[in-house]
Amino acid sequence: MVPGHSDSGASSMDKAKDSPPRKQLIQLIRDLRAYVTYQRSLGAEFLPGSTREITHPQLTLGEVRVELGECKRCKLHRTRRRIVFGEGSEKAQLVFVGEAPGEDEDQQGRPFVGKAGQLLTRIINAIGLSREEVYITNIVKCRPPRNRNPQRDEIGTCEPFLRKQLEVIQPKVICALGTFAAQTLLKSDERISQLRGRFHTYRGIKVMPTYHPAFLLRNPYKKREAWEDMKKIHGEHIT
């Protein structure tokens, strides 16, 4: 030490460097950097709290189908014949979402081609559209054995691909056909009879739940209610 020179200034600076607030700030910055890196590794495009949706405008339906591949992510692949991805216009204003492929769909690899599909086609035509102008898909892309209801893990595995399909198409309206489609999209436990008849929202898109065509074939007296739902879709949101 230089005689007569005080080191109090240096000591003060050292204490400031080691002060608790400074240490906390440095640790906070480190934690924030680690969190941002983690979010980016998951594919996030914004930090939580932003009101902007994550979208994939660079994707096409073909690319989503390639990503799905010959999917073996859940047990349904063991009994399926074909994956039923969906079909229709990539620029559709209206998307129909059912619950799962049936036997006819499993054989052909196309959605809604059996008796229920024929009824759906007539419904689409009745509101002035064709199958080529809309898009048709299901919550799960493989037929459950013996047409049983899709299970929670199967829905959870397939739902990300449905979400990407909808992000690519960006329709004005989604028509959720039946209980499983409506409950999955709306994250609701309500019955289809309680959900139908009014618009809901899925990621900023209007959703009209209505009865599944297969249900209407078994319960033709419900066709009037389903038609009222379709008139609301046509009258308010389809141009």
Model pTM score? 0.77
- Expressed in percent and rounded to 5, the helix, strand and coil fractions of the chain are 50, 10, 40
- Check pLDDT > 90 for residue 227: yes
Q: Would you list the domain boundaries of the chain?
A: 14-52, 61-237
What local confidence, expressed as pLDDT, does residue 29 receive?
72
- What residues have CB less than 8 Å from 203, skipping those under 6 apart? 53, 163, 166
- Please state whether 178 falls in left (phi above 0), alpha (psi between -120 and 50) or beta: left
Scanning 52-114, the segments in alpha helix (DSSP H) are 61-68, 103-108
Task: Assign 53 a pLDDT band (cuts: 50, 70, 90).
Answer: very low
User: Does 16 have pLDDT greater than 60?
Assistant: no
Q: What is the CATH number of domain 61-237?
A: 3.40.470.10
Quote the percentage of the chain above a pLDDT of 70: 75
List pLDDT tens digits, range 101-160.
999 999 999 999 999 999 999 999 999 999 999 999 999 999 999 999 999 999 999 999
Please state, in angstroms and rounded to a whole number, the distance separating the CA atoms of residues 143 and 76. 7
DSSP for residue 89: -
Higher pLDDT, 21 or 101: 101
Question: Mean pLDDT of all residues in the chain?
Answer: 86
pLDDT recorded at residue 28: 67
Q: Is the per-residue pLDDT at 1 higher than 70?
A: no
- Tell whether the model's pLDDT for residue 45 goes beyond 60: no
Name the band, by pLDDT with cuts 50, 70 and 90, for residue 92.
very high
Mean pLDDT for the stretch of residues 45-63: 58
Cβ pair 139, 97 in contact under 8 A: yes
pLDDT in tens, 154-212: 999 999 999 999 999 999 999 999 999 999 999 999 999 999 999 999 999 999 999 99
CA separation for the pair 166, 146 (Å, rounded): 28
Backbone angles phi, psi at 55, to 5 degrees: -125, 165
Is the predicted pLDDT of residue 64 greater than 90, yes or no?
Answer: yes
Confidence of residue 226 (pLDDT cuts 50, 70, 90): very high
